[in-house]
Amino acid sequence: MLAMPVTTQRTVFFLSDRTGITAEALGHSLLTQFEGVEFKQLTLPFIDSPTKAQDAVDTINQAHRDDGSRPLLFSTLVDAEVRSLISTSEGMMFDFFDTFINPLEAELGVRSSHAVGRSHGMGTYASYKVRIDAVNFALANDDGITTVNFPHADIILIGVSRCGKTPTCLYLALQVGTLAANYPITEEDLEFTDLPKVLRPHRARLFGLTIDPIRLQQIRTERRPNSRYATIEQCRREVAAVEELYRREKIPFLDTSTVSIEEIATTIMHMTNLKRRMQR
């Protein structure tokens, strides 16, 4: 046997009886607190039988042998037998269910159902329909293709070309069922001091996106290299003008340069008091 390597690499397993999305989110938010440690992150989803649990144990123990340090396990496993099998592995278990479910039972005075696979209750027809309708709405009302549906929109994102409107609308549609349209503010629009005419009746539902001109230049260069559209001067001019427009028209806005799509979407919901259409 080789000597234990002195290493700061750790293997991390996210264990779940379903998708593992919650275990990943949970473990990830903890791991980002530890700099200088390199984490090799693996998700083992759909562990819903003793056989699969035993396979997971073997995988975990193999990682222990390979790394020389014990793996970290972030688990949202619900089934008692599966959890008990996993606990026989050589990993260090962070058991989300075990840690919180007992105090919750005591507080609520209710026994938990210990039913597996409830964490994403989005499989019903009603919530599927909300999402699909929202995705279709976002696709049909993207980039100013049409403005006839603006009266039905929950929110209308505006901004210069390539500032992040489309992915934000799609994210809002998929994650919260929002009816999100978007409209590109063009160079021509910015020659006028007023809001583009088609937007005026919907002012209360407008939300502006802006972006660092250097970042915008990068994104536009990817799309149309060596075009006037992608020059830094053009990007600077458009961004300055659109921000001026937002301020003058008192349209709430957000700089998307250094935040993730999740954060853009959540911030918009927070700033505009947008309600979720999708049940949780």
Q: Find the binding residues for a copy of itself in span 66-105 (CB under 8 A).
A: 70, 72, 76, 78, 92, 94, 96-97, 99-101, 103-104
> What is the helix (H) or strand (E) element at residue 102, kind and residue range?
helix 96-108
**Closest approach of a copy of itself to the CB of residue 112, in Å:** 4
Range 133-152, binding a copy of itself (CB under 8 A): 135, 139
Burial environment of residue 93 by CB neighbours within 10 A (0 to 12, 13 to 18, 19 or more): buried
> What is the helix (H) or strand (E) element at residue 263, kind and residue range?
helix 261-272
65/71 Cα distance (integer angstroms)? 10
42 near a copy of itself (CB under 8 A): no
19 near a copy of itself (CB under 8 A): yes
119 near a copy of itself (CB under 8 A): yes
Residue nearer to a copy of itself on the CB measure, 57 or 211: 211
Give the C-alpha distances (Å, rounded to integers) separating 143 from 44, 90, 146, 147.
Answer: 39, 53, 8, 10
**Closest approach of a copy of itself to the CB of residue 71, in Å:** 11
Q: Are 74 and 12 within 8 A, CB to CB?
A: yes
Q: Which one of residues 86, 170, 209, 245 is an interface residue with a copy of itself (CB under 8 A)?
A: 170
Range 240-259, binding a copy of itself (CB under 8 A): 258-259
**Closest approach of a copy of itself to the CB of residue 113, in Å:** 5
Q: Are 42 and 15 within 8 A, CB to CB?
A: no
Residue nearer to a copy of itself on the CB measure, 124 or 193: 124
**Closest approach of a copy of itself to the CB of residue 148, in Å:** 18
Give the C-alpha distances (Å, rounded to integers) separating 85 from 4, 41, 66, 99, 116.
Answer: 27, 21, 21, 17, 16
Closest CA to 149 of 208, 205, 210: 205
Stretch that binds a copy of itself, among 112-120, 181-189, 226-234, 239-247 (CB under 8 A): 112-120
